[in-house]
């Protein structure tokens, strides 16, 4: 059902798996995953939707342009542009977008920057970058310390991670992820270019991505399409308080909310529950 391609978009080439029939939907992974994190969800949705699962630029087997001083090559705005160009290449100018973790930031930015293209938005365990950073306190810094570690440039995190990636990363095994997905993830995690790309994502998050959010808020821009938040029951996206209330000022049409009985990696831990929630929301209910 699904086809794997490397699609040249000009400044980047994205590895993407796509297939199925019906309304188009893009599924965007988070850190430190690749598109294969969606394999169980994509298989469940493929009978009703045209499902597109790319590696974000700098992740997996997708490329990354040369670094810029402001890390703009890894901004969520740049990644959102990739999503729109990719879907245009695949023949779709309107589509739904679903994002988890860092992919949630990209999905949000796609809806904000390209309101004519995005029909529905689903964020999974994510908040606007500016909302996290403005609420930073000792609790958040202690629990989410990796944001600041990965974002360093004076003493780059890549040197520590690449010295022993097997010690740095902890992932489920092949029985939980599937043989192919597990092997794909670990090829990426052991690739210094991918480690650098992931760090650049976090560097962009602490700077240019925040500025983009601030500009949107100052201008009164909000997500125009219907929006849903999928929240893990056993994760800490509520570290700043009720995430629905934090999202509400950003959503012109309100925020649907579903609690998923899983830890952080919802698509891997609860694919049936995630698929059912997506099917319900993406079908227009």
- Active-site positions? 101, 264
- Segment holding 273, helix H or strand E: helix 271-282
The CA angle 33-40-247, to the nearest 5 degrees, is: 60
The SS3 assignment for 178 reads: coil
The count of other CB atoms within 10 Å of the CB of residue 32 is 23
Burial profile 65-87: b = 16 or more Cβ within 10 angstroms, e = fewer: eeeeeebbbbbbbbbbbbbbbbb
Which of 59, 98, 84 is CA-nearest to residue 201? 59
**Biggest CA pair distance of the chain:** 49
**β-bridge partners, 251:** 223
Asked if 102 and 200 count as a contact pair (C-beta separation under 8 A), the reply is no
- The residue count for the chain: 285
């Amino acid at each position: 059902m699904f086809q794997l391609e490397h699609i040249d978009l000009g400044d980047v080439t994205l590895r993407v798996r796509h297939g199925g029939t019906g309304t188009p939907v893009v599924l965007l992974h988070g850190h430190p995953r690749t598109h294969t994190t969606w394999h169980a969800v994509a298989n469940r949705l493929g009978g009703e939707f045209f499902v597109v699962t790319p590696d974000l630029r700098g992740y997996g087997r997708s490329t990354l342009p040369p670094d810029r001083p402001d890390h703009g090559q890894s901004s969520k705005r740049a990644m959102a542009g990739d999503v729109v160009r990719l879907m245009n290449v695949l023949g779709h100018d309107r589509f739904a977008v679903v994002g988890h973790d860092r992919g949630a930031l990209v999905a949000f930015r796609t809806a904000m920057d390209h309101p004519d293209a995005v029909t529905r938005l689903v964020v999974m365990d994510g908040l606007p970058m500016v909302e996290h950073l403005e609420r930073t306190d000792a609790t958040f810094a202690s629990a989410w310390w990796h944001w600041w570690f990965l974002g360093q440039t004076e003493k780059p995190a890549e040197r520590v991670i690449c010295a022993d990636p097997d010690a740095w990363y902890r992932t489920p095994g092949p029985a939980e992820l599937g043989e192919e997905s597990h092997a794909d993830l670990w090829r990426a995690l052991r690739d210094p270019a991918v480690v650098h790309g992931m760090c650049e994502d976090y560097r962009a998050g602490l700077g240019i991505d925040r500025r983009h959010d601030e500009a949107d808020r100052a201008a009164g821009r909000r997500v125009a399409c219907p929006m849903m938040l999928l929240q893990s029951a056993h994760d800490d996206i509520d570290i700043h308080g009720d995430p629905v209330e934090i999202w509400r000022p950003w959503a012109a049409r309100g925020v649907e909310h579903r609690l998923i009985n899983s830890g952080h990696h919802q698509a891997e831990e609860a694919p049936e529950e995630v698929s059912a929630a997506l099917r319900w929301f993406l079908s227009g209910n």
